[in-house]
Amino acid sequence: MPAAFDPVEIPLGASEEETKTLITALCTRVLPGWAEVNLEELTLTPITGGISNLLVKVTPTQHAGLQPVAVKVFGNKTELLIDRQKELQQLHKLNSCGFGAEVVGEFANGRIEAFLTAKTLKPEEMSHPKFVPRIAALLRKLHSVPTDGKPVLWPTIMEWFEMAKALEFEDLSKQAKFAGIDFASQEREILELKAICDRVPTEVVFSHNDLLSGNILIVREPDTPEENSEGTMQFIDYEYSDCGYRGFDLGNHFNEYAGFECDYSRYPDTAAQWTFFRHYLSADKPPEVSAPTEDELSRLEAETNVFALASHVYWGVWSLIQARYSPIDFDYLEYSGTRWAEYFRRKPEFVAKAKHVFGIE
């Protein structure tokens, strides 16, 4: 049964009180069984962890049988970056495969999902031995979800790049910082990297594309401790998911070990990557199948690391568009510069390894 739709639009710039009124009224109109709930009986709690959208947990306090929900209000102009109709179709497909929170309602600039009572991983926890095997196995399962068409990574980067070049900022300090970006140089880097990645043998998969710590949950029962790590692992937030490259999803995930503070000293070394890869490659294999060879692991490392450079480019360009349109208090221009700086820092090593391993001239 498709989720109910309401035409209301919730402005991101509204006051806290107006936002609460709009969200609670929306829930009582759209969600089954909520029509008789008094608005005063609903508790709103902000959900933190992202830098694009407004996320709010709505809890009915007095009505047995009604479960809390998560209301997501899409960020300003994020439709420039995300095909929302395609995203919704993919969410329904993923729900049927056991991924993501169930979509229970939709509105003009957002949707309502079942709230998952869960522990959200922290960036430093993604590399922990108790989580690495589970993340690797679940990512392998996600990569097995059927996908149609061709990978969209490079067309997306180029579309965003053309959009970014044409931006203008009302904020004079932002405009001055933006004016210092050498777009001609960045375009050369993008085309050079694409030419290398195009020669790297990587699997085409259904790719999450944004597997940061805040999108990895350990779902728990409501009455269990918040830090319980024994529940079912779940990935959420498939806004950027699409047909893509295995290497990009792996490299992007490893980049996210750094967190939003961009501590790239956390990027996994060879030993840590190989541990992850062993769990990833063995996840859908019977026990009697031989473990991955060192050659397989070395090739996957080279593939992952060169696509990690593409991840820096992807989010570096994305950040420029967010800098122009997002009302969220985050220095997107600084973040873009940081991603490009890390790209240039790791490029010589990662490109040289890929060329050596795959015989690229």
Query: What integer pLDDT is reported at residue 182 of this predicted model?
Result: 98
Tokens of 69: 């929900």
Q: Per-residue pLDDT averaged across 250-276, rounded?
A: 97
Q: Per-residue pLDDT averaged across 11-38, rounded?
A: 91
Is 119-358 in the same CATH topology as 4-115? no
* Higher-scoring residue by pLDDT: 311, 224: 311
Q: Per-residue pLDDT averaged across 69-74, rounded?
A: 94
| Digit-coded pLDDT (tens) for 112-144 | 999 999 999 999 999 999 999 999 999 999 999
In the chain, where the domains are located = 4-115, 119-358
Query: What integer pLDDT is reported at residue 1 of this predicted model?
Result: 60
Question: 230 falls in which pLDDT band (50, 70, 90)?
Answer: confident
Q: Which residue type sits at 301?
A: E
Please give the CATH number for the structural domain made up of 4-115.
3.30.200.20
Which whole-number Å values give the CA distances from 116 to 100, 105, 130, 235, in the listed order?
9, 15, 21, 11
The answer to whether the CB of 268 falls within 8 A of the CB of 255 is no
pLDDT of 22 over the 90 cut? yes
Query: What integer pLDDT is reported at residue 178 of this predicted model?
Result: 97
Beta strands in 163-222 (DSSP E): 204-207, 216-219
Q: Per-residue pLDDT averaged across 55-79, rounded?
A: 88
| Digit-coded pLDDT (tens) for 233-244 | 999 999 999 999
Question: 54 falls in which pLDDT band (50, 70, 90)?
Answer: confident
* Higher-scoring residue by pLDDT: 228, 48: 48
Strand arrangement of the beta sheet that strand 216-219 belongs to = 118-120, 216-219, 232-235
Query: What integer pLDDT is reported at residue 201 of this predicted model?
Result: 96
Fold for 119-358, please state it. Answer: Aminoglycoside 3'-phosphotransferase; Chain: A, domain 2 (3.90.1200)
Query: What integer pLDDT is reported at residue 231 of this predicted model?
Result: 87
Query: What integer pLDDT is reported at residue 49 of this predicted model?
Result: 62
How far from chain centre, in Å, is Cα 97? 18
Query: What integer pLDDT is reported at residue 161 of this predicted model?
Result: 98
Query: What integer pLDDT is reported at residue 50 of this predicted model?
Result: 65
pLDDT of 312 over the 70 cut? yes
Per 3-state DSSP, the chain is made up of helix, strand and coil in percentages (nearest 5) of: 50, 15, 40
Query: What integer pLDDT is reported at residue 227 of this predicted model?
Result: 64
From CA 280, how far away is CA 302, in angstroms rounded? Answer: 16
Question: 225 falls in which pLDDT band (50, 70, 90)?
Answer: low
Query: What integer pLDDT is reported at residue 51 of this predicted model?
Result: 63
Q: Per-residue pLDDT averaged across 251-274, rounded?
A: 97
Instruction: Compute the mean pLDDT over every residue in the chain, rounded to the nearest whole number.
Output: 93
Helix (H) or strand (E) holding 206: strand 204-207
| Digit-coded pLDDT (tens) for 192-209 | 999 999 999 999 999 999
The answer to whether the CB of 190 falls within 8 A of the CB of 156 is no
